[in-house]
Structure 1
């Protein structure tokens, strides 16, 4: 058996939504083990990592949908800061 670790969210109906797709054979049966951290186990580093991941996902989505600007445009006016 192969193990894949991925974070997920449990909604109000108790359903799990994975943070990212799992790349594997489609239509496979899987065994799911849910580890729920105790409140004191969640620290600031984890929250910071989650924010970074969320920002990256948004940036990746924007890049994949063509919502970008040229790098040269990013530098315009930087000398005035």
Structure 2
């Protein structure tokens, strides 16, 4: 068995629509595993926004020395 990765959308009837057609092994049955992102997973726009904020802070000197990162954290 070989694996292919494809993105798809679940419609209101619960059916999958692939973003792009699969070009291999037409007219054959397949096994499908659906991975649904958790609500807490960040979106691409959230990741990009966080990166921009971090880049701005780095470029404007709003940083913390590495030596201070663990200050106040107790060993368990």
TM-score by length of 1: 0.52
Report which of the two structures shows the higher radius of gyration computed on alpha carbons.
2
Q: Distance in 2 between matches of 1:42 and 1:12?
A: 24
> Where do 5+ consecutive residues of structure 1 fail to align?
49-81
- TM-fit CA distance, 1:42: 3.7
User: Greater helix percent: which structure?
Assistant: 1
Structure 2 unaligned segments of length 5 or more: list them: 49-76
RMSD of aligned Cα (Å): 2.3
TM-score, normalized by length of structure 2?
0.55
Q: Distance in 2 between matches of 1:26 and 1:45?
A: 36
Match of 2:17 in 1: 17
- Structure 1 segments (4+ residues) deviating >4 Å: none
